[in-house]
A and B are shown apart, each in its own frame.
Chain A
Amino acid sequence: MIEFDNVTKTYEKNEKDALKDINLRIESGEFVFLVGRSGAGKSTFIKLLLREIDATKGVVRIKGHDISKLSKSQIPYLRRKLGVVFQDFRLLENKNVYENVAYAMEIIGRPEKKIRKKVPLALSMVGLSDRMYHYPHELSGGEQQRVVIARAIINNPSILICDEPTGNLDPETSKDIMRILLEINRHGTTTVVVTHDMNIVRLLNKRVLTLENGILTGDSSKGGIANV
């Protein structure tokens, strides 16, 4: 599903590689943690997947397609296959929960009828059926993160990318969020959780990729140990 083939990313500003010779494969339907300290290259990894930036060297493939070959106008269609959950939620404050989720369907041109049917389903999946008409500022952090998850999966992405999804949440709420992510993964969505929260990593017995200073130093599926 996701392949990194000798990927190196160097930002022009500093000469140090943000990512260096990364080789990895994430299979369809897998649940993978990507761990590392800040500055280890986690954000660069996500930006490469979203084609926000291009790799300096090497090839990033999604579903077998070299994404660097996509034209600028094709990038939106790549992003529709990827659901993204951000640490800072990125909800629209002037829209309520329902509208925030519906928005993601609206902007890719889904018909109103389908939106009305599907948004409540997604919200019930993350346990927010009773919060549909609340505004983001009326919700707790955990609830906001669940809205973001509902928004990320509303268009049935084949890959769900979560950037520090529990970064701003207490341990109990974090567990709730992880439960929801596992549930989504169980339905077949390839899930990549980028985090430095080792508590949730230890909680689940899943594959762990470790980044240190831009280098992939561990892959639990190959016997590597996550020791961040």
Chain B
Amino acid sequence: MFNLRRSTIRDAGQSLRRNSLMSLASIISMTAALVILGIFLVITMNIRQVTQHVEGNLRIQVFMTQNCTQQQKDALKNYLEQNNLIKSVQYESKTTALKNFSKQLDSSSSLAGTINSKNNPMPESYIVRAKNANQLGKIKSQIEKYNQQGNTGIEYIKYGRDYIQALTNFSHFINMFCLFVVIVLSVISYFLIYNTIKLTVFARRKEIGIMKYVGATDNYIRAPFLLEGAFLGIIAALAATLAVRTGYYYVLGYLSGNALLPITANLASPSALIGKIVIFFLAYGILIGTIGSHVAIRKFLDV
């Protein structure tokens, strides 16, 4: 669309140098905006990651009564396996349940001494995983319906729904908040770029007038200004990426150094996260930069 000839690049460079202070100001503000945006993006991406992890582990556990029969267990297993919403059905014996329970207990706990394999209070259970975490509620009610037939040997159906719901709600809140911040910061960045380019255009209005009289096309006149806007956006995007990357490494180091282990293990890896962010920032910077320039110059092209 545009003739990116040498003179276009030269003009853009010249004008950046001439307005170096204003250019710097708009780069700094846009970088600041992008950094704040980046912080929210990092939080959102991590929440999504943790949510996915939790959802992946989300399950319904069907506990059996102490005196259930093999027939009841087989019937239940059979019933569960026929349900096509269910991904897997896993049997947990009394022994495994006890072993898992003991692992969670401190060895010095008085309880640890009283429980042993001869006196095992843990129930047998079936662990049900859904193909889609959203359908766990439906599966649960299906199992409840099955239990209403009576004589099923089911003691209790456990489902950690509230936990996931809270996380989903929080994630949703962060998403909305993030969207709001993005919009506000976009408007600010847009006006900063717009003003910078407008100053440039104003300084060169005489030249633009001459160009129009000699028969330069609008695109030709516009190109260096759009290039300048895009360049400001790119510099801001790169600076912001660097800042967010450094910050994220620092925070991750701090978290893992402070033994908050279960959290950090599930956090997004910095390289993957920064890879996504840099692309997003660049696209954002170029877009805001060129739109700002485009609007700034439009008025001056009416000759």
Contacts and interface: CB of A to CB of B under 8 A. Distances in A.
Contacts of A76: 212, 215-218
A103 B213 CA distance: 12
Interface in B196-236: 206-207, 209-218, 220-221
Interface string A53-78: 00000000000000000001100111
A161 to B, nearest CB: 10
A33 B148 CA distance: 106
Q: Is the interface of B mostly helix, strand, loop or mixed?
A: helix
A223 interface: no
A79 B213 contact: yes
A25 B153 CA distance: 107
A107 interface: yes
A155 B215 contact: yes
Given A52-B303, A90-B206, A106-B7, A84 B213 contact: yes
B187 to A, nearest CB: 29
A192 interface: no
A50 B210 CA distance: 13
B24 to A, nearest CB: 22
Contacts of A80: 214-215
A104 interface: yes
B264 to A, nearest CB: 57
Given A52-B303, A90-B206, A90-B209, A104 B3 contact: no
A151 B214 contact: yes
A108 interface: yes
A99 to B, nearest CB: 10
Nearest to A154: B214
A225 interface: no
A90 B206 CA distance: 8
A107 B204 CA distance: 15
B66 to A, nearest CB: 86
Nearest to A84: B213
A151 B215 CA distance: 12
Interface in B7-28: 7
A73 B1 CA distance: 13
Given A106-B7, A107-B220, A109-B3, A90 B210 contact: yes
Nearest to B214: A104
Contacts of A121: none
Contacts of B221: 107
Given A90-B206, A109-B3, A50 B220 contact: no
A79 B212 contact: yes
A108 B218 contact: no
A216 B238 CA distance: 63
Contacts of B213: 50, 79, 84, 90
Nearest to B210: A90
Contacts of B5: 106, 109
A92 interface: yes
Contacts of A108: 214-216
A78 B134 CA distance: 65
A84 B211 CA distance: 12
Contacts of B217: 73, 76
Contacts of B211: 107
Interface in B170-211: 206-207, 209-211
A69 to B, nearest CB: 18
Contacts of B209: 90
A77 B3 contact: no
Nearest to A112: B6
A50 B213 CA distance: 8
Interface in B238-253: none
**Which of B7, B209, B213, B216 counts the most chain A CB atoms within 10 A?**
B213
A79 B215 contact: yes
Nearest to A79: B215
A80 B220 CA distance: 14
A79 B214 contact: yes
Nearest to A104: B214
Nearest to B3: A109
A50 B3 CA distance: 24
Nearest to B209: A90
The 6 closest A-B pairs by CB, nearest first: A80-B215, A79-B215, A107-B216, A104-B214, A76-B215, A76-B217
6 contacts: A76-B215, A90-B210, A92-B210, A103-B214, A107-B214, A155-B215
Interface of B: 3, 5, 7, 206-207, 209-218, 220-221, 303
Given A73-B217, A108-B216, 6 more contacts: A52-B303, A72-B218, A76-B218, A90-B210, A92-B210, A155-B214
Interface of A: 50, 52, 72-73, 76-80, 84, 90, 92, 103-104, 106-109, 151, 155
